[in-house]
């Protein structure tokens, strides 16, 4: 979900797997050292993934400085636009993924969850990935996975047929 050019001693800690609804899920705490030739600093991220039924075009929501994701997509909900930034190279796809019901539920969750507001959510191939500096406490883990379930469950059926691509032949079928 991210790359760090000078990263050293990359470690995965506190990993767990399971299911969130119908989706296989993974969580892990990722740490690395960064040597910028002046000092050595420790960094960490909490990484969450949900395996989707098919690969979809790239889309991000939340905290991001990644300029390769596309343009910012605005929605009719000013409250949602204030809390979340959505980026995609295909605005029609972003509007199809974030239905009014999904927007309403995410906005409500964003009002009560600091972990969700501070998380970058991204569709990458057949995975919905969330990366945050928060999220290592049980209630944060639950909040981030709840947001991911809202996003994944809110994707309309036609998205899987119109935009979905099988992750690898014979591995999964699109439902």
Max mean pLDDT among 11-25, 28-42, 91-105, 107-121 falls in 91-105
Dmax over CA atoms of the chain, in Å, equals 52
pLDDT at 5: 65
Half-sphere exposure of 172 (CA within 13 A, CB side): 17
Q: With 90 as the cut, is the pLDDT of residue 32 above it?
A: no
Lowest-confidence pick of 60-64, 66-70, 95-99: 66-70
Higher pLDDT, 2 or 159: 159
Can you list the positions of beta strands (E) in 21-159? 23-35, 40-62, 71-73, 86-88, 119-132
pLDDT at 14: 87
pLDDT at 170: 43
Q: Cβ distance 110 to 102 under 8 Å? A: no
Q: Which residues pair with 32 in a beta bridge?
A: 43
Q: With 70 as the cut, is the pLDDT of residue 4 above it?
A: no
Both tokens assigned to 19: 């299911």
Lowest-confidence pick of 31-45, 115-129, 145-159: 31-45
Lowest-confidence pick of 83-87, 90-94, 163-167: 163-167
pLDDT at 65: 67
Burial bucket for residue 77 (CB in 10 Å: 0-12, 13-18, 19+): middle
What is the pTM assigned to this prediction?
0.85
d(Cα 134, Cα 157) in Å, to the nearest integer? 32
Q: Measured at the alpha carbon of residue 85, what is the angle toward residues 4 and 97, in degrees to the nearest 5?
A: 105
171 sits in which H/E element: none
Phi, psi for 153 (deg, rounded to 5) = -70, -25
What proportion of the chain, given as a percentage, has pLDDT over 90? 61
Closest CA to 64 of 141, 129, 140: 129
Mean pLDDT of 105-133: 92
Phi, psi for 68 (deg, rounded to 5) = -90, -5
What are the tens digits of pLDDT across the range 135-175?
778 889 999 999 999 999 999 999 999 998 875 544 444 43
């Amino acid at each position: 979900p991210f790359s760090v050019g000078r990263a050293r001693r990359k470690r995965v800690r506190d990993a767990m797997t399971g299911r969130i609804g119908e989706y296989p899920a993974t969580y892990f705490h990722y740490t690395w050292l960064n040597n910028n030739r002046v000092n050595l600093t420790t960094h960490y991220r909490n990484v969450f993934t949900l395996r989707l039924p098919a690969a979809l075009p790239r889309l991000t929501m939340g905290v991001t400085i990644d300029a390769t994701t596309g343009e910012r997509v605005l929605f009719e909900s000013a409250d949602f636009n204030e809390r979340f930034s959505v980026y995609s190279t295909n605005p029609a796809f972003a509007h199809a993924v974030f239905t009014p019901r999904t927007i309403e539920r995410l906005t409500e969750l964003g009002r009560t969850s600091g972990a969700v507001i501070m998380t970058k959510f991204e569709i990458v191939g057949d995975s919905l990935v969330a990366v945050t500096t928060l999220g290592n406490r049980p209630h944060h883990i639950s909040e981030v996975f709840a947001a991911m379930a809202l996003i994944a469950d809110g994707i309309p059926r036609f998205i899987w047929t119109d935009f979905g691509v099988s992750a690898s032949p014979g591995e999964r079928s699109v439902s």
